[in-house]
Amino acid sequence: MKQGIYQSLQLRKKEGKKSFAVLIDPDKVSVRTHSENTSLLDELIDLSLAAKVDYFLVGGSLVISNHLDDVVQYIKANCGIPVILFPGSPNQVSKYADALLYLSLISGRNAELLIGQHVVSAPFVKMSGLEIMPTGYMVVDGGAPTTVSYISNASPIPSDKNEIAMCTAMAGEMLGMRLIYMDSGSGAKRPITESMIESVAGNIEVPLIVGGGITNPEKAYLNCKSGADVIVVGNAIEKDASLIKEMAAAIHSVPVKI
Ligand code: 1GP
């Protein structure tokens, strides 16, 4: 099984380097047609290259359009930034990507999202040839229902229950998850608190991804200082793509621990 992307995440964590992942929702971008000079996707790619973005995450809780393959192929054809799938459902798998976050919703008690959908799609996922990264996915209350909290039909972890988040992440790691992703949902009113990130990060060894409602570089920086290894931003960048530069600079400026 391929391991390149995971090894890069592990190495960056070991070196104390923080990573920035730009989330691209395939519904919100389109591949440039012959009649167009440029598109939002071109702009995101150009800005990400200039800012030395570490990863693209592609996917969403509810993808309506049918051009995931086109979007992934377009990114791969136009830059060398690794593309990691962040699927909201088993049909969001594209063999053209580099890796797949194989998400199990460990914060919920919905058996379908813990293991059921994985069973049904296992042969298809394996056949894709993608690097598979088992990921303990934890949804944290972001102050209002988000698409992920509604679709998952599972209660999010209350935003002030650090110990529940900590124990969930620890259990996920001991069950064999190679990554933990704490998410307050796209466009969350309240991003995850630094104290919750600290509680989780201090008790696991695997890389920690944090996202949901991060709208400014200061917050991204503080999340990294609290122990996040990868910061994911989608919504804020859709609204203002120029944020990519400031976000990347803030995340990459976190001092490397010696
Ligand atoms: C959502 O963590 C991601 O699943 C990113 O959230 O779109 O709010 O940045 P935003």
126-148 tens-digit pLDDT: 999 999 999 999 999 999 988 88
Using alpha carbons, select from 133, 54, 44, 49 the residue that is nearest to residue 86: 133
Express as a percent the part of the chain with pLDDT over 70. 99
Q: How far is the CA of 211 from the centre of ligand 1 (A)?
A: 5
Q: How far is the CA of 258 from the centre of ligand 1 (A)?
A: 30
Q: How far is the CA of 24 from the centre of ligand 1 (A)?
A: 10
At residue 38, the pLDDT reads 73
Amino acid letter, 138: M
Q: Which of 10-14, 33-37, 110-114, 155-159 has the lowest mean pLDDT?
A: 33-37
Through-space distance between the first and last CA atoms of the chain, rounded to whole angstroms: 32
Q: How confident is the model at residue 1 (pLDDT cuts 50, 70, 90)?
A: low
Structure tokens at 126: 């394996």
pLDDT tens by residue, 182-221? 999 999 999 999 999 999 999 999 999 999 999 999 999 9
Q: Tell the residue number behind the tokens 């609290």, with chain if given.
A: 226
At residue 61, the pLDDT reads 75
- Residue 49, φ and ψ in degrees, nearest 5: -65, -45
Q: How far is the CA of 23 from the centre of ligand 1 (A)?
A: 7
At residue 240, the pLDDT reads 97
Q: How many CB atoms lie within 10 A of CB 187?
A: 17
Q: How many CB atoms lie within 10 A of CB 245?
A: 16
At residue 60, the pLDDT reads 81
Q: How far is the CA of 126 from the centre of ligand 1 (A)?
A: 27
DSSP bridge partners of 147: none
Ligand 1 touching residue 23 (CB < 6 A):
yes
Task: Report, as an integer, the average pLDDT of 95-109.
Answer: 97
At residue 65, the pLDDT reads 77
Amino acid letter, 12: R
Nearest CA to ligand 1 atom 2: 211
Using alpha carbons, select from 18, 89, 102 the residue that is nearest to residue 59: 89
At residue 18, the pLDDT reads 98
In the chain, which ranges are continuous DSSP H helix?
4-14, 40-51, 68-78, 111, 117-127, 147-152, 162-174, 194-201, 217-225, 235-239, 243-252
Among 235, 243, 251, the mutation site with the greatest number of ligand 1 atoms within 8 A of its Cβ is: 235
Q: How confident is the model at residue 235 (pLDDT cuts 50, 70, 90)?
A: very high
Among 233, 239, 243, 251, the mutation site with the greatest number of ligand 1 atoms within 8 A of its Cβ is: 233
- Is residue 39 pLDDT above 80, yes or no? yes
Q: Convert 80-97 to b/e letters by CB count within 10 Å (16 or more is b).
A: ebbbbbbbbeeebbbebb
Indicate the average pLDDT of the chain. Answer: 95
Just give the CATH number of 5-252: 3.20.20.390
pLDDT tens by residue, 139-183? 999 999 888 888 888 899 999 999 999 999 999 999 999 999 999
Ligand 1 touching residue 232 (CB < 6 A):
yes
Ligand 1 touching residue 233 (CB < 6 A):
yes
Q: How far is the CA of 252 from the centre of ligand 1 (A)?
A: 19
Contact status, residue 116 vs residue 162, Cβ threshold 8 Å: no
Among 20, 22, 23, the mutation site with the greatest number of ligand 1 atoms within 8 A of its Cβ is: 23
At residue 95, the pLDDT reads 96
Contact status, residue 212 vs residue 141, Cβ threshold 8 Å: no
Ligand 1 touching residue 235 (CB < 6 A):
yes
Distance from the Cα of residue 8 to its chain's centroid? 15
Please report, for the chain, the start and end positions of each structural domain, with discontinuous segments joined by +.
Answer: 5-252
At residue 164, the pLDDT reads 98
Task: Report, as an integer, the average pLDDT of 97-118.
Answer: 97
State how far the Cα of 130 lies from the Cα of 100, in Å rounded to an integer.
6
Contact status, residue 169 vs residue 180, Cβ threshold 8 Å: yes
Contact status, residue 216 vs residue 244, Cβ threshold 8 Å: no
- Is residue 37 pLDDT above 90, yes or no? no
